[in-house]
Amino acid sequence: MHQRSQKSSFRYIAFEGIDGSGKTTQAKLFVEFLKREGKSVFFVREPYNEKLRNILLNENFNDKAKLFMFLADRSELADLIFEKLKESIVVSDRSFFSTLAYQGYGDKMDVEFLFELNMFALEGLKPDVVFCIDIPVEIMHKRIKSRDFIESKGDDFFRRVRDGYLGLGKFCENYFIVDGSRSENMVFEEIVGIWKGLIGSQALS
């Protein structure tokens, strides 16, 4: 499988977690933090194509159809991310880890196979760092007021997704599970602390 090169040095950071975890809020806070640090930052969320996002979140397709739509969107997005990584840090709200958790564990598809499909679509592009914001399903219910099609799935589905996220560190060297049940500030402080630790260790190497 042909793979394109990407700059390392923790330049592609993804935020993951089940719905209601606060990952989008934390991703945006992290973007602002990096900008204050004088970094050039590009923020993106998945699905990237807005028309496809609306279809995927509000229409009922079979599992394989959804998977291939996500892969098509991700393949297009990869071209943009490879380009942005030449000059900027890329912060992403979701990544292929969402497919491993939702379609793999949630919909009970083969996780290893999904990983290979994503690597083919992405030409080997993977986040350098993943912050997985973890919350129990019970907290998810308290936080989400209105629900799209995916968010309306049952508790067993979301428990499988959450359990999946907790075990996905094998696909990323720097995969950090952060307790999202705490206050927004406490979660953010932990993320920044982890980030500074990574940057510090890099400077010493």
pLDDT in tens, 17-41: 999 999 999 999 999 999 999 999 9
For residue 94, the one-letter residue type is R
What percent of the chain has a predicted confidence (pLDDT) above 90? Answer: 77
CA dist 67 → 19, 49, 83, 156 (Å):
18, 15, 25, 20
Does any domain span residue 6?
no
pLDDT of 2 > 60? The answer is no
Residue-level pLDDT at 201: 76
**Tokens describing residue 57:** 């979140």
Does any domain span residue 181?
yes
Distance separating alpha carbons of residues 104 and 110, to the nearest angstrom: 6
Does any domain span residue 179?
yes
Residue-level pLDDT at 7: 58
Residue-level pLDDT at 153: 80
Q: State the maximum Cα–Cα separation within the chain, in Å, rounded to a whole number.
A: 50
Helices (H), 45-150: 50-58, 63-84, 96-99, 111-122, 137-143
Helices (H), 8-95: 23-36, 50-58, 63-84
- CA 26 to chain centroid: 12
Does any domain span residue 32?
yes
pLDDT of 9 > 90? The answer is no
- CA 81 to chain centroid: 14
Preceding peptide of 136 cis, ω within 30°: no
- Show the domain range for 95: 12-204
CA dist 39 → 123, 143, 148 (Å):
26, 32, 34
Does any domain span residue 135?
yes
The whole model's pTM is what?
0.92
Total number of domains in the chain: 1
Does any domain span residue 175?
yes
- For residue 108, the domain's CATH number is 3.40.50.300
Residue-level pLDDT at 154: 87
Does any domain span residue 7?
no
Which tens digits make up the pLDDT trace of 43-94? 999 999 988 888 887 777 888 998 999 999 999 999 999 999 999 999 999 9
Q: 70: closest CA among 90, 93, 92, 95? A: 95
Does any domain span residue 3?
no
